[in-house]
A = this chain, B = another copy of it.
Amino acid sequence: MSLVIAGTMAFDAIETPFGKTDKIIGGSATYAAWSASHFTSPIKQISIIGGDFPQEEIDALKSRGVEFEGVDVLKDEKSFFWSGKYHLDMNTRDTLVTDLNVLAKFDPKVPASYQDCEFLMLGNLMPSLQKQIINQLPKRPKLIIMDTMNFWMDIAMDDLMETIKMVDLLMVNDAEARQLSGEYSLVKAAQKIMAMGPQFLIIKKGEHGALLFHKTHVFFAPALPLEEVFDPTGAGDTFAGGFIGHLARTKDISFENMKTGIIIGSAMASFVVEKFGTQRLKEISNDQIMERLNYFVDLVNFDIDIVS
List A residues at the B interface (Cβ < 8 Å).
38-40, 88-89, 184-188, 205, 208-209, 211, 217-222, 225-229, 249-250, 256, 259-260, 262-264, 286, 289-290, 293-294, 296-308
Whether the pair B225, A186 counts as a contact (CB closer than 8 A) is yes
CB distance from A208 to the nearest CB of B (A): 4
Whether the pair B304, A185 counts as a contact (CB closer than 8 A) is no
CB distance from A286 to the nearest CB of B (A): 6
Q: Given A208-B208, A209-B222, A300-B220, are A305 and B89 neighbors across the interface (CB < 8 Å)?
A: no
Q: Which of B220, B290, B299, B307 contacts A299 (CB 8 A)?
A: B220
Closest residue on chain B to residue A208 by CB atoms: B208
Complex Cα spacing A227 to B188, Å = 6
A interface, by DSSP: helix, strand, loop or mixed? Answer: mixed
Whether the pair A228, B185 counts as a contact (CB closer than 8 A) is yes
Q: Which of B184, B188, B289, B307 contacts A89 (CB 8 A)?
A: B184
Whether the pair B218, A308 counts as a contact (CB closer than 8 A) is no
Q: Given A222-B209, A225-B218, A227-B188, are A39 and B308 neighbors across the interface (CB < 8 Å)?
A: yes
* Residues on the B chain within 8 Å of A205, using CB: 208
Whether the pair A304, B299 counts as a contact (CB closer than 8 A) is no
Complex Cα spacing A302 to B187, Å = 20
Q: Given A225-B186, A227-B187, are A307 and B38 neighbors across the interface (CB < 8 Å)?
A: yes
CB distance from A235 to the nearest CB of B (A): 16
* Residues on the B chain within 8 Å of A184, using CB: 88-89
Whether the pair B187, A226 counts as a contact (CB closer than 8 A) is yes
* Residues on the B chain within 8 Å of A301, using CB: 259
* Residues on the B chain within 8 Å of A264, using CB: 304, 307
Q: Which of B88, B211, B217, B304 contacts A260 (CB 8 A)?
A: B304
Whether the pair A302, B227 counts as a contact (CB closer than 8 A) is no
* Residues on the B chain within 8 Å of A290, using CB: 306-307
Offer 21 A-B interface pairs, CB within 8 angstroms, sorted by A. Answer: A89-B184, A187-B225, A187-B227, A188-B227, A208-B208, A211-B225, A218-B225, A218-B298, A218-B299, A219-B298, A219-B300, A220-B222, A220-B299, A220-B300, A221-B300, A221-B302, A260-B304, A264-B307, A289-B307, A290-B307, A294-B304
* Residues on the B chain within 8 Å of A307, using CB: 38-39, 264, 286, 289-290, 293
Complex Cα spacing A217 to B217, Å = 30
